[in-house]
């Protein structure tokens, strides 16, 4: 396997930006942050959940502890490409992420069909436990977005990401089916995430204050799930009126 970071522990704070505030903040970042290895790419995910959507419904209740499982690729993968199986947990505001890299077909065999991975590590044991605990997991949603990512010049552990063109769908739930779906954000909006192991640098805090940029509670999967419920409710109302 290539060297990559498989374990993360950090604070993640989210902000919704207009195009104007995004451009102003980018100017302030010019001497403070550098584009990272995945600096400009489309990220594709399949989120797994129970048939009753237990994981996302629990998450939306904002509990002290929550968790999710997803299959992730950078760009639309072909069968021989490598993808990540990721287990993400959040406890008292701290995000813990575990991930392992596999060929697409092997990863799909595991998360879709339950075929053993064969390679056992501490991370795969944690993922195995999660899969067995939620024994009826199934693909629930596709989510993709275009990401521009930076790391801090003075503190490389600081990551700042900007996501746009966030798309979701509930059919054709395979990474290899490509990037398409329903839009999650309004035109011109971007979702920024600041990820850091400890306190935010003062220069960044001051920049956010100057631009009136404030944290928001935002889950891509959660927001898409809520949009899906609203869309289905609207369709039912239209159907009821049609046959009334």
44 within some domain: yes
Phi, psi of 197 (to 5 degrees): -70, -30
pLDDT of residue 7: 81
- Number of domains comprising the chain: 1
175 within some domain: yes
pLDDT of residue 2: 40
Q: What's the Rg (C-alpha) of the chain?
A: 19
Domain limits at 145? 7-242
Q: Is the dihedral of CA 30, 33, 38, 43 positive or negative?
A: negative
27 within some domain: yes
2 within some domain: no
Mean pLDDT, 10 residues at a time, the chain of 244 residues: 67 97 97 86 97 97 96 96 97 94 96 90 94 95 97 95 98 98 96 95 97 97 97 77 61
List CB contacts of 98: < 8 A, sequence separation 6 or more: 6, 7, 86, 87, 88, 123, 126, 127
Segments of 107-198 assigned E as strands: 138-152, 159-169, 182-183, 190-196
- Which of helix, strand or coil describes residue 133? helix
70 within some domain: yes
CB 147 within 8 A of CB 163: yes
1 within some domain: no
DSSP, res 176: G
Bridge pairing between strands 82-91 and 65-74 = antiparallel
CB 204 within 8 A of CB 31: no
- Which of helix, strand or coil describes residue 214? coil
Q: Identify the residue whose tokens are 């995910």.
A: 45
DSSP, res 158: -
In order, the DSSP letters of 38-87 are: EEEEEEEEEEEE-TT-HHHHHHHT--SEEEEEEEEEESSPPTTSEEEEEE
pLDDT of residue 1: 35
| pTM for the whole structure | 0.92
pLDDT of residue 241: 63
pLDDT of residue 236: 74
| Residues 130, 85: Cα–Cα separation, whole Å | 12
Residue 148's CATH number: 3.20.100.30
pLDDT of residue 219: 96
| Residues 137, 29: Cα–Cα separation, whole Å | 41
């Amino acid at each position: 396997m290539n060297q990559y970071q498989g374990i993360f522990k950090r604070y993640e704070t989210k902000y919704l930006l207009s195009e104007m505030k995004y451009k102003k903040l980018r100017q302030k970042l010019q001497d403070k942050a550098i584009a990272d290895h995945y600096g400009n790419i489309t990220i594709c995910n399949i989120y797994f959940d129970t048939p009753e959507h237990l994981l996302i419904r629990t998450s939306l209740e904002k509990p002290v502890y929550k968790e999710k499982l997803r299959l992730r690729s950078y760009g639309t993968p072909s069968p021989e490409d490598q993808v990540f199986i990721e287990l993400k947990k959040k406890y008292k505001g701290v995000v813990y992420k575990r991930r392992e890299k596999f060929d697409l077909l092997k990863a799909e065999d595991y998360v879709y069909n339950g075929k053993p991975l064969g390679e056992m590590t501490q991370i795969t044991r944690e993922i195995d436990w999660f899969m067995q605990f939620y024994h009826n997991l199934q693909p629930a949603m596709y989510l993709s977005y275009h990401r521009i990512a930076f790391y801090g010049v003075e503190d490389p552990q600081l990551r700042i990401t900007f996501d746009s063109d966030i798309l979701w769908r509930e059919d054709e739930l395979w990474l290899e089916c490509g990037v398409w779906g329903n839009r999650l954000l309004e035109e011109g909006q971007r979702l920024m995430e600041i990820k850091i192991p400890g306190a935010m640098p003062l220069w960044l805090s001051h920049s956010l204050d100057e631009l009136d940029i404030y944290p928001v509670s935002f889950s891509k999967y959660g927001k898409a799930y809520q949009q899906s419920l609203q869309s289905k409710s609207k369709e039912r109302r239209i159907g009821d009126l049609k046959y009334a």
